[in-house]
Amino acid sequence: MRFQIDDKVLDTVTGIVSSVDSEHSIRAKTLQVLNYLIEHKSDIVSKQAVINAVWDDVVVQDQVLTQSIKEIRDLLGANVIKTYSRKGYQWVAPLLPESIQSEPIQSINSQARIKTRPVIDKSKVWIGASIAVFLLLIMVFVFLFIRSEPPLKVAFLPVKNDVQDSVHNWVPLRGQEQLTLGLSQSSQLAVIDSDHVLFAIERLNAEQRRAYQRGALYPIQEKLEADLIVATRLTGFPEDFQLHYQLQTPFGVEQGIEFASSVDDAFNQLVSKIAIRFDEYQPSGNGKNISQFSNEAFARGVAKYLEQDFVAAKPLLQTALSTEPDLLAAKRYLAASYANSGQITEAIALLKDSINLAQAQGKQGRELLRAYLMIGYLQINWPQQTDRENELLSAEQYVEQAKQLAEQQNDELFIAYSHEELGKIKRLQGEFSDSARHLTAALQYHKQFQGDYGQTAALIELAKVSNAQQNQALSEQYLQQAFEIATHSQAPANQIWVLLARADIARSQLLQTEAEQFAKKAQVIANHSDNPMLIARVDAWFNDSPVYTVN
């Protein structure tokens, strides 16, 4: 439908606003806002009603709608939309159908002399028609080319590195460059080069810098005049990484997580999603996007989990599952939140449900491995049954199943993890020879991975086995080796685990003063790291609570 609004013509289908000397395209989401206001012009519509109608597939903030209202007023006039305080908006401009000017028709004298029809050269007619069609095609192409919107401008911020070791110190700037080049090569998006982004960050004024340091992305978006800002944070361990991302888009803010066995794979997965989502982006109509990409509840739930705020994490993760019941990663984090809150029975039930769901759908992969392994881990470290022997046998069955699946999938990391847990079970059962065999196997796998601090868990368990066998010298040797590896890798979490293991062994030998000295050293490292999970682990030792957490 085309409407005349003052001296402008609005096409509500194509989103074109034209006047005598100019023509402008309305952004897709802004056009949806405009059409919604026109359709409800007799009513005052609330902000939330507009957001629900236009952005029903993503979570957005009020300023996104405010920006669209501003764009409409800039194009059509400040008075076309009226703002009602605390109520919303109403379209108030008159909507007149576009006037169609008819060309004057020349009257023809009915008594005019009829002339003899001239002879027409048909070959010239065909040539002329061909030229006309060719010119018409050129005009259509130029028209469409001019009307098409330019590609989105995209900027990647430096990657925040939360992997606590020295192996991944390269991630912030090289990761930013890798993401930038990857998207440039795999899409037609206008990707801003990394140096330009870094220069823009340096040139933020004091107010913009304060907002940027608090986590706001709009200052750098304004400075770069970018359509899409990508902020990322890398966490996890070698062979088991998480790339958390936040997107400041023209349509709102979106969050998500990529899981991968390598940093390169995590970067590539994110690049692929952005390219698919935003390259030649078309509005999705009324279809809801329920993928991980826009699952705000899942991303926020994981963020709360990592902050050790398990109470806040649970409802967010439950919301994610209500939207996408098959999201096994959300089930895993919810189970871990239950476990870390002391609700072990609920956690195990949820993990069993994940196993059943994965098996029913024929899903393999790490989420199924994690579910089996986590059940065994919980039964090892949080005894729930009076019959401890049967509980350990149950744990052994779950871990053994994880090991078999990992071997079928050739997933060496989870083969190593399974050997570690089987080693713990055998130690608790008093089968020290079998325990050492499993732990030595785990150690050999970890030596193959980048970042040798993965060896520390197996070395700590070997030290506990040696201590149980009254071989203090060998126990000390394992612990010393583990601490040296953790220190060399600058991995504070592993340093803390070694020190707490020393504290446990000293306490088991009734050396309370020595035990507290080791624990205080661990406390210093935890406080210096400013990591809530590490601080909680050390505090648990001093409170005589289990230091184990599901992470």
Which sequence spans correspond to the domains of the chain? Answer: 2-97, 153-292, 320-542
pLDDT at 199: 80
Percent over 90 (pLDDT), the chain: 38
pLDDT at 124: 60
3-state secondary structure 297-327: HHHHHHHHHHCCCHHHHHHHHHHHHHHCCCC
Residue-wise pLDDT tens digits, 120-161: 555 665 666 667 667 666 765 555 554 455 678 999 999 999
DSSP-based three-state secondary structure for 407? helix
Within 13 Å, how many C-alpha atoms sit on residue 463's CB side?
26
DSSP-based three-state secondary structure for 401? helix
Phi and psi of 256, rounded to 5°? -175, 180
Percent over 70 (pLDDT), the chain: 85
Query: How far apart, in whole angstroms, are the C-alpha atoms of residue 15 and residue 31?
Result: 6
Q: Is 2-97's fold the same as 153-292's?
A: no
User: At the fourth CATH level, which superfamily is domain 320-542?
Assistant: Tetratricopeptide repeat domain (1.25.40.10)
Classify residue 363 by its DSSP letter. Answer: -
- In this structure, the number of other CB atoms found within 10 A of the CB of residue 178 comes to 20
What does the CA dihedral 272, 278, 282, 286 come to, rounded to 10 degrees?
Answer: 80
- Taking alpha carbons only, the member of 85, 62, 64, 82 closest to residue 73 is 82
DSSP-based three-state secondary structure for 249? strand
Residue-wise pLDDT tens digits, 268-314: 999 988 888 887 544 433 333 444 444 678 888 888 888 888 999 99
Within 13 Å, how many C-alpha atoms sit on residue 49's CB side?
12
Average pLDDT score, the chain: 84
Q: Which residue has the higher pLDDT, 534 or 415?
A: 415
Sorted by sequence, the CB contacts under 8 Å of residue 525 that are 6+ apart come out as 492, 495, 496, 499, 534
CATH classification code of 2-97: 1.10.10.10
pTM, to two decimals: 0.62
Q: Using pLDDT thresholds of 50, 70 and 90, give the confidence band for residue 362.
A: confident
CB 333 within 8 A of CB 349: no
Phi and psi of 132, rounded to 5°? -65, -45
Look at the block and give the residue holding tokens 């053994």. Answer: 400
Scanning 236-290, the segments in alpha helix (DSSP H) are 263-278
Sorted by sequence, the CB contacts under 8 Å of residue 504 that are 6+ apart come out as 464, 515
Write out the CATH class of domain 153-292.
Answer: alpha beta
- Helix (H) or strand (E) holding 356, with range, is helix 344-360
Query: How far apart, in whole angstroms, are the C-alpha atoms of residue 528 and residue 522?
Result: 10
CA distances from 56 to 67, 189, 305, 318, 444 (A): 17, 25, 26, 19, 51
Dihedral sign for Cα atoms in the order 463, 413, 171, 58: negative
Within 13 Å, how many C-alpha atoms sit on residue 68's CB side?
26
Query: How far apart, in whole angstroms, are the C-alpha atoms of residue 499 and residue 515?
Result: 9
